[in-house]
């Protein structure tokens, strides 16, 4: 089997796996606060600005899917 064909199959398979992961669980854990949403810094409690203290963030693939859906919806 040709190596380029093998690489293409691997890329398609990994893309399908990521797309299904985005479909099944659209939210991932926030990398900034690691899902803790509140971290103690010194005496105060700092809330995560990246995820608005939910501890969750929308996956990039789901972001793209939502954007494509809104474009399709606006086009109709
Ligand atoms: Zn966060």
Q: How do residues 29-42 score in pLDDT, each as one tens digit?
A: 888 887 665 656 66
Please give the distance, rounded to the nearest whole angstrom, from the Cα atom of residue 45 to the centre of ligand 1.
13
Please tell me the distance between residue 46's alpha carbon and the centre of ligand 1 in angstroms.
10
What does the pLDDT look like over 1-56, one tens digit per residue?
A: 899 999 999 999 999 999 898 888 899 888 888 766 565 666 667 778 888 888 88
Ligand 1 is an ion; its neighbours by CB within 5 Å are: 30, 32-33, 48, 50-51
SS3 track for the chain: CCHHHHHHHHHHHHHHHHHHHHHHCCEEECCCCCCCCEEEECCEEEECCCCCCCCEEECHHHHHHHHHHHHHHHHC
CA of 68 to the centre of ligand 1 (A): 25
């Amino acid at each position: 089997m040709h190596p380029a064909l093998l690489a293409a199959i691997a890329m398609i398979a990994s893309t399908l796996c990521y797309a299904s992961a985005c479909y099944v669980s659209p939210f991932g854990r926030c990398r900034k606060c690691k899902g803790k949403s509140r971290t103690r810094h010194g005496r105060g409690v700092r809330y995560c600005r990246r995820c608005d203290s939910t501890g969750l963030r929308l996956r990039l693939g789901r972001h793209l899917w939502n954007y494509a859906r809104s474009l399709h919806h606006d086009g109709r």
